[in-house]
Amino acid sequence: MVKTRNTTPLSATDFTPLEQKPVTGRRGPSPAIIFTTAFTVVAIAIMVFLFAARAIILRLDPAIAEVDLGGLAFHIGDNYLLLQGEHQLSAEAPGYYPLRKTIQVSGEATQEIDVALQPLPGNLLVRSTLDDIQLSIDDQDPVTVPGTISEISRGAHKLEFAKYRYFTLQQEVEIEGLGKTQAIDISLQPAWGQVEFTTVPEGAELFIDQRLIGQTPLSAEVLETGSQLTLKAPGYKTLQQQVRVKAGSKATHPLIEMIVADGTLTINSVPQGASITIDKQFKGTSPMDVAVTPFAKHNIELFLEGYLNTKQSVSVKPEQQRQISVNLTPNIGRVRLNITPADAAILVDGKRLGTGSQTLSLNAKPQSISVEKSGYETQSMTVTPRPGHQQALTIQLLTLQQAYWASRPATIKTSVGGKLKLFQPDEQFMLGAPRRQPGRRANEAERAVRLERPFYLATNETTNGQFKRWKDRHSSTAVKGQTLDMTDQPVAKVSWEDAALFCNWLSRKDGLPEFYTVEEGRINGTNWDAHGYRLPTEAEWAWAAKVNSQSVSQVFPWANELYPPMQVSGNYADQSASGFLSFTLADYNDQYPVSAVVGSFSPNGKGLYDMSGNVAEWVNDYFDIRPNRSESEVDPRGPEQGSKHVIRGASWALASRTELRLSYRDSGTDGRIDLGFRIARYVDKPGGTL
């Protein structure tokens, strides 16, 4: 492409501006329209306000109060026009507290609202020619006048004016308030008169209401309401009394004779605590200060238990203080202590005086003597030595074990009336019978046993009356018209389990732990740690029945080994029962064809009744037949299980040599008309409860 250039030179041309036409402006609304519109809007607003506003009448107290209501409000006559809602009101008036409160305008057309201002308190100017007057207003704390009391509330007030030596003045005043000050003039009337005082001796210091007036003789002002007069003079007792005189009068007091002052005795003794009499009048215990009349002789006597009486005569001068100290002489008695064990320590009033037997010289007063040794129970006693007469005491300490058992009661009673006796065998004996003993049975194999655990055993068999406290419908029945069911006869026809359940019931009744464990009403075990009631073990029963006081095992309950018995010794099958029993004792009549009232026959050597005869007795052990054993068993409990339980002792229905032996044993499960039981229990552990 070929480019060409314009070579024509540039030249100026004439410029003529375009002609402008004037712009025509818009015209606004006329003033008349603006005024009309504004008037209309205002009128509508006023009409809306008047329609919505509520007339409020303010009841002002005081009426001169000036009120200001914030916000949009119109005041027309006595009314204010306000819109509904809250409005802040302010009111003020001279002499009143300003008021600021919020008022609530509701939808009611006309409403009245109280506006009450609280008046300002007033002031009271008290004028008087006297100074230091105490003014109490309405029983409040007093203030001192003359002067101005500010801010007293408007209204009536009770005023009380008081000043020492003037009569009290009471009056009422009406306080105008409103910040104003009122004035009153007060004049109090004198309440004293003049009294002339003279004393013997003269020169005594005279005080009126604890203010020193001067020395007698003199005249002093005394109140009509009473003044405290005090007179003091060296060597004389201070005198105090109330005096009074009519106001404005003069009087002379009778002559006052002052009393010579006491002296003072300070009495002490070694040891202290001695009773003190002065002129046979008890004054107290040493140490003590006591006033006594001067110049006279006074007889002083000191008494202290364990010490000789001490007498002394003294005299004092007026206002003299005299010290008396007396070392009392012990009044000694001798006490001989014979002590076992020989190395036991002796303490008198807590002070160790040595060990072993010795003679003590002690004050003739109650002395607390203790003898102690480790492992033994301390014995304590109170002894009063007698001077001139030696006393002798023998003290044998018990080991803790001995002391424990000594503290256990020898007998106890159950809540149903049974009595149990304490036994502490601690000896070995043979359970069963020797092979060659006539009448011996195969189930009576001899074996050595040792009882160590103490126990209680009932002195009598359990009676019908006692058993029926648990099972009231039980009947021991009768035999051939002979009843077994009297209250004091032994209960019979009782199974082993019922006997054991009775023991548990009685344990609960007496607050003891149950010995037998029960599941679904059946006994399934024993608690050997419990000391509740139970049946005796076979070993306990056998020891109690046949081992005498010489630790010899008896064959029969009577004193020899002869059979049949020569004298009545128990309730066995005798001639009185021959009409219905197949085998009875010839020439033996105990007068009871069936069971007798418990305890009808003499007890054995251990104080137990009917251990042989009356009814046979259940014991706790399961029944088994054991071979002879030479090694000793300690507190045997019998087999751990079995189908039958052991029965021990003869009964009113038995009479053979075999059955009357104390080693006789039988077995069973169910009750029999000649089978009952007696209860036992272990002793509580140390610190336990019976």
Range 664-686 burial, b when 16+ CB lie within 10 A, else e: bbbbbeebbbbbbbbbbbbbeee
Alpha helix (H) residue ranges in 221-331: none
Residue 563 has pLDDT above 90, yes or no: yes
Taking the CA atoms of 46, 52, 57 and 62 in sequence, report the sign of the dihedral they define: negative
Q: What is the pLDDT of residues 126-168, one digit of tens each?
A: 999 999 999 999 999 999 999 999 989 989 999 999 998 899 9
pLDDT at position 590 is: 96
Nearest to 201 by CA among 282, 284, 261, 277: 261
Query: What amino acid is encoded at 536 in this protein?
Result: P
pLDDT at position 423 is: 96
Q: Answer for the pair 256, 231: CB distance below 8 angstroms, yes or no.
A: yes
What does each C-alpha distance from 506 to 511, 637, 688 come to in angstroms? 8, 22, 18
pLDDT at position 502 is: 98
Q: Answer for the pair 635, 536: CB distance below 8 angstroms, yes or no.
A: no
SS3 (DSSP) at 568: coil
- Band of pLDDT at residue 388, cut at 50, 70 and 90: confident
- Band of pLDDT at residue 13, cut at 50, 70 and 90: very low
- Band of pLDDT at residue 690, cut at 50, 70 and 90: very low
Residue 11 has pLDDT above 90, yes or no: no
Q: How far apart are CA 466 and CA 378, in angstroms?
A: 42
- Average of per-residue pLDDT across 332-346: 92
Residue 73 has pLDDT above 80, yes or no: no
- Band of pLDDT at residue 15, cut at 50, 70 and 90: very low
Residue 405 has pLDDT above 90, yes or no: no
SS3 (DSSP) at 658: helix
Residue 689 has pLDDT above 50, yes or no: no
pLDDT at position 27 is: 59
What does each C-alpha distance from 70 to 87, 90, 101, 395 come to in angstroms? 7, 8, 11, 107
What are the percentages of helix, strand and coil residues in the chain, rounded to 5?
Answer: 10, 40, 50
Q: How far apart are CA 107 and CA 414, in angstroms?
A: 91
Q: Which run of H or of E encompasses 660?
A: helix 657-660
Lowest mean pLDDT among 358-362, 545-549, 605-609, 611-615: 358-362
- Average of per-residue pLDDT across 72-84: 72
Burial class (CB in 10 A: 0-12, 13-18, 19+), 486: middle
> Of 491 and 138, which is predicted with more confidence?
491
- Average of per-residue pLDDT across 428-432: 94
Q: Which run of H or of E encompasses 582?
A: none
Nearest to 214 by CA among 229, 227, 226: 229
pLDDT at position 50 is: 59
| Token couple for 348 | 């008198």
Residue 304 has pLDDT above 50, yes or no: yes
In SS3 terms, 523-559 reads as EEEECCCCCCEECCCHHHHHHHHHECCCCCECCCCCC
Q: What is the pLDDT of residues 624-652, one digit of tens each?
A: 987 766 688 999 999 999 999 999 999 99
Omega of the bond prior to 271 within 30 degrees of 0, cis? yes
- Band of pLDDT at residue 687, cut at 50, 70 and 90: very low
Residue 617 has pLDDT above 50, yes or no: yes
Nearest to 311 by CA among 277, 262, 266: 277
In this prediction, what percent of the chain has a pLDDT beyond 70? 92
Q: What is the pLDDT of residues 24-62, one digit of tens each?
A: 445 567 788 877 777 777 666 566 565 556 777 888 888
Look at the block and give the residue holding tokens 């033994």. 376
pLDDT at position 314 is: 93
**Averaged pLDDT score across all residues of the chain:** 89
- Band of pLDDT at residue 178, cut at 50, 70 and 90: confident
- Average of per-residue pLDDT across 102-121: 83
pLDDT at position 6 is: 42
Q: How far apart are CA 456 and CA 419, in angstroms?
A: 9
| Token couple for 509 | 């009744």
pLDDT at position 679 is: 99
- Band of pLDDT at residue 446, cut at 50, 70 and 90: very high
- Average of per-residue pLDDT across 482-498: 98
pLDDT at position 52 is: 59
pLDDT at position 628 is: 67
Q: What's the length of the chain?
A: 690
What are the chain's domains? Answer: 45-116 (2.60.40), 122-186 (2.60.40.1120), 192-257 (2.60.40.1120), 263-327 (2.60.40.1120), 332-403 (2.60.40.1120), 408-441+452-682 (3.90.1580.10)
> Of 428 and 80, which is predicted with more confidence?
428
pTM over 0.95: no
∠ Cα 408 414 415 (to 5°)? 135
Residue 432 has pLDDT above 80, yes or no: yes
pLDDT at position 45 is: 59
Lowest mean pLDDT among 78-92, 534-548, 568-582: 78-92
Q: How far apart are CA 604 and CA 457, in angstroms?
A: 13
Kind of pairing between the strands at 263-270 and 321-327: parallel
pLDDT at position 84 is: 77
- Average of per-residue pLDDT across 565-582: 95
Q: How far apart are CA 369 and CA 343, in angstroms?
A: 16
Q: Which residues have CB under 8 Å from 237's CB, separation 6+?
A: 258, 259, 260, 261, 262
Residue 4 has pLDDT above 50, yes or no: no
